[in-house]
Amino acid sequence: MPSDADNFYQSAHVSRQAVDFQNVFKMTVAGNLFVPNDLDRSRQHPALVVGHPMGAVKEQSANLYAQKMAERGFVTLAIDLPCWGDSEGARNRVSPDLYAEGFSAGVDFLANQTFVDGARIGGIGVCGSGGFLISAAKIDARLKAVATVSMYDMGQATRNGIGNSLSLADRQAMIEAAGTQRNAEFGGAETALTGGCPHEIDADSHPIAKEFYDFYRTPRGEFTPAGQSPATTTHPTLTSNVNFLNFYPFNDIETIAPRPMLFIAGDQAHSHEFSDDAYARAAEPKTLHWVEGAGHVDLYDRVNVIPFDKLDTFFGDALA
């Protein structure tokens, strides 16, 4: 584990409150609300909704980012996306629309806190949540500023793979398998899972698999929500994962302007193509910030590598 990895960081300078609230579909969304200890609650302050990596939960990356930004004076809310963690929804189901709605529900909650300025709310999305946050911001103008970190476009990744490594035949086989499994599960078969982080690796494992294993399957970042099994963590269901094939978060991304966008990625990250693509399509004002020497997972929890000062400056200006 890198010496500066601190996924389960607990700040002595902010208070933490477990909260839950409903989205527009009357599903409960769970979160952790972080407030600076010295916050003047008689005044209204800027706030941030923070989303976790795809397949993860708020205890993985989101809580860390939320606390670090709360230390810088923001009210922050780390959420569990619907169907994951402590939020409602059938376990491990993929629904990009529900995920985006999770961010908007977070805005609902924050805007109704007396010490939050509803006109100064932004969002941070880590990994897959970067795409879900963008999807939300395209139709929710209350999100006044958007920052993504190690972003994945889960639509593109599912359709074509990293570096366009999947073929049309691969995609068609994925669709066929999902349909076959739906028939089986309707008839009583057990729910099948797919993707996610491997539970075992060896010297011949793919470098990306090793990178995710080092976070999700070791004490560095491993976390299993109450009532769930380590065997199912990070894995979407086979029948719902195909929903990502219809997910195009960067289409119409220019409509977010003039609200500012910040894309943060490691210059060594296997996922950098998604930040490149989003930045190229977005309208001004926009910033692409490369973290020199950093890989994808480095920006999940390495507190000396994550550019918190850059995030502080960005949101300080955007939500002033």
Is 216 inside a domain boundary?
no
Is 201 inside a domain boundary?
no
pTM recorded for the entire structure: 0.98
Residues 6+ apart with CB under 8 A from 15: 34, 35, 37
For 155, the token pair is 């639509």
Tell me, what's the pLDDT at 160?
96
Distance, CA of 297 to CA of 266 (rounded, Å): 9
* AA letter at 303: V
Tell me, what's the pLDDT at 269?
98
Is 230 inside a domain boundary?
no
Is 296 inside a domain boundary?
yes
* AA letter at 20: D
Is 157 inside a domain boundary?
yes
Tell me, what's the pLDDT at 312?
98
Tell me, what's the pLDDT at 208?
97
Mean pLDDT by 10 residues, the chain (320 residues): 97 98 98 98 98 98 99 98 98 98 99 98 99 98 99 98 94 98 98 98 97 98 96 98 98 98 98 98 98 98 98 98
Is 110 inside a domain boundary?
yes
Tell me, what's the pLDDT at 6?
98
Give the count of domains, the chain: 1
Q: What CATH number corresponds to the domain at position 291?
A: 3.40.50.1820
For the chain, give the longest Cα–Cα distance.
Answer: 59
The whole domain housing 289 covers 14-179+244-318
